[in-house]
A and B are shown apart, each in its own frame.
Chain A
């Protein structure tokens, strides 16, 4: 499948419509798993705009989930009488704005770092945000913050948030696709491949990196706002999570690093495995996740998409006799 094809959005929308039928047929447990899958896929794609396309893999994107969620909560609680839909919109706008400002500020120093240095410095950013959030009373991080219910009274909240995540993640994927096939996307790709050469060819590397960083942060923040509403009550620990930081990398790695659909495939797979298969083995959770990472790196460094591509290439070379 050619990912730069102009028909791809139709395919994405078709897939989304199909997934929208999920809650009508699935038992409640699987609706919750589906929620988590869709949320994770959206996060994975948002992460990949910076980490996969431009090669700046962040290890601290949960910072933007936290910043988005807490900003939304603090702002929304100033307007307790607003209609639920408006409340959500207000929260989304506030969360996105805060993420944009913070990421734009952080971008300058942190994008000077490359590779693993960048990744871990982002972990530092996440810890700092969490610490400030937790210790400055104004942000109510340690006390926690409540969100007004926004699901219509006639609807099961689980189903409502399933659809909300689906809509949000579809939009994120469409944005990523638009970037992927644009000049901007080509520039990001060249940055991932060789930043110095990219600059030599006239790619405004610094500006592109900053833009990708802000876009990625804002989309992550938007999903964070929805996540906070789905939880209904958040503390610092429930949004600034290190396991989220890790998962975002693993999604891309599992699905296929630097591809458009890799993080979606990776998120679906990982959530399914951890929730459905390992769900009852809490004591083994760290061990199983660790083992999965190790096996992944050693056996399938190109992720699922890499495996499929390799398999296809091998098949093609078997079918065509050697010249």
Chain B
């Protein structure tokens, strides 16, 4: 394992009432990179995020963050160590303004109480929503809410940002803006892990792609190699049926 790995999963499994959502997944994420986790619906991507953030506890295996075992640790403790998450379906504090939302992030997480104002301003800037600071969160558009999620997450001064489909449902302009934001965040020293469906964005932004299918890791590598991996293509398009029914062309 490289010394620069920030997050490490070793043999992590998660079962729900005997149904295996994650099956012995192992990987390490290099610090300062953008990694995308892709896979068909139900492959276990969100479960993986839930495991890393402590929302769920793994059935087996170990998770460590910055060489510290975080398996089964409380969600808020993991956040204090420097893991932040942006939800796909944005969950802003609806009654608060954008600034106040991000301020909660800046007051907690790894951040502590120093330079709160500065941290908030910087996070808003980085997420490109500084102009929305005084707006109530419940007046934002879906795209703006995604940015707010990201801003609030990085305001915790996290070292690792887990972003759950940040581009889902965004139009091309918004998607491009989000990709820029993710790059800026990576360049500011935060390691980014995405779960994403939008393949063009994945190809464009990722340093590395992990492919999950039925809870197992089936491919791992730079985007262009993964995209041409036959196993990956099969997982996405379905295995060609060996005995097609008459009248059904594949």
Contacts and interface: CB of A to CB of B under 8 A. Distances in A.
User: Do A and B actually bind?
Assistant: yes
B32 interface: no
A199 B93 contact: no
A190 B75 contact: no
Interface in B57-105: 74-76, 79-80, 84-85, 87, 91, 93-96, 103-105
A197 interface: yes
Given A193-B94, A193-B96, A200 B85 contact: yes
Interface string A182-215: 0100110110011011111111110000000000
- Interface size class for chain A? 10 to 19
Contact of A200 (B79, B95, B103, B110): B79
B27 interface: no
Contact of A202 (B96, B103, B156): B156
B35 interface: no
B93 A193 contact: yes
B53 A186 contact: no
Most chain A CB within 10 A, of B103, B108, B109, is at B108
Nearest to A183: B107
A69 B105 CA distance: 41
A199 B103 contact: no
A201 B53 contact: no
Given A183-B107, A186-B107, A194-B93, A200 B53 contact: yes
| Chain B binding surface, main DSSP class | loop
Interface in B113-145: 113
B93 A190 contact: yes
Contacts of B53: 200
- Interface size class for chain B? 20 to 34
B76 A202 contact: yes
Nearest to B90: A197
Contact of B104 (A190, A196, A204, A258): A190
Interface of B: 53, 55, 74-76, 79-80, 84-85, 87, 91, 93-96, 103-105, 107-111, 113, 152-153, 156
Interface of A: 183, 186-187, 189-190, 193-194, 196-205, 258
Given A186-B104, A194-B93, 15 more contacts: A183-B107, A186-B103, A190-B93, A194-B91, A197-B87, A199-B74, A200-B53, A200-B79, A201-B108, A202-B76, A202-B80, A202-B108, A202-B111, A203-B108, A204-B76
